[in-house]
Amino acid sequence: MFSLFRENIKIAIGSIKTQLLRTILTVLIIAIGITALVGILSSVSFLEDTISSDFSSMGSNTFNLQQYDFTTQRRSNDDFKVNPIISYRNVKGFEKAYSFPGTRTSISFTGTRSAEVKYENKKTDPEVIIIGANEHFITNSGLKLDAGRQLNVFDVKNNNNICVIGSDLKKALLSDVNPIGQTISVRGVKFKVVGTLEEKGATFGNNQDLRVIIPIQSARSIFTLPNINYAISIMVDKKEMLEGAQDDAIITFRNIRGLNPVEENNFGLERS
């Protein structure tokens, strides 16, 4: 039996020698195929991680509590349910009560969409958006800084007169100077620029680069209209925890609204 095995080995070696070129090409093709397959799988894995990271930075791991669901539509006066606005008391209560692990809660409101902003002897058209926000707003909104820093917890708690501005506002007022450290004026109140945002562009005709973000209490002292509707945005560190974070947020906000178990939600929840 051993002699038969040895004979088969000799025949195989002889076959390889007589067809050396074909053997080399076959081995080479197999090696190239395996290398290409490993490279493709590695590239796909890297691309998936990159896309997930990019979407996460744009807010895909966030959800919002708001007055209505995005899909709510008016069918008739009888069918349309009027939900109460999300008040300042609501957002502060939620911020204090909501403690789901690995989340950050942003609260904000739009003071006006038609502000005139001044810097020395320059001023803009009355088309600048003023947003009052806490320290998590910029991150949760998927915004990125071009220079400087964003609002921090001390700015918000101490009601500091500082601001972060959009790229178009920087071009309009501060193109010839370093904007960081300069002072602009909003409705007669002076704010020190601590950061500028990267260009974001327009969404549905809304220029997102013409805006000023200031601490929420500073904004509340300037914009005192009744029935201001606030926004709550929650970012989750891990997308696997998103569903649990949403369920906990609904329960928390229902408690804040004082809803009993049989009542429907009088607010909406939307994922970014």
Q: Strand ranges (DSSP E) for the chain? A: 62-66, 103-115, 117-119, 122-123, 128-133, 145-148, 162-165, 183-186, 189-197, 202-203, 206-207, 211-215, 231-236, 268-271
The whole-angstrom separation of Cα 264 and Cα 29 is 64
237-254 pLDDT per residue, tens: 988 899 999 999 999 999
Residue 29 has pLDDT above 90, yes or no: no
pLDDT value at residue 58:
47
Residue 7 has pLDDT above 70, yes or no: no
Residue 77 has pLDDT above 90, yes or no: no
209-234 pLDDT per residue, tens: 899 999 999 999 999 888 899 999 99
For residues 136-144, give the mean pLDDT. Answer: 92
Mean pLDDT of the chain: 85
Residue 138 has pLDDT above 90, yes or no: yes
Specify the higher pLDDT residue, 104 or 26. Answer: 104
Q: Which of 73-87, 178-192, 196-210 ranks highest by mean pLDDT?
A: 178-192
Task: Locate all alpha helices (DSSP H) within 113-266, ordered by sequence.
Answer: 137-140, 153-157, 167-173, 216-222, 242-257
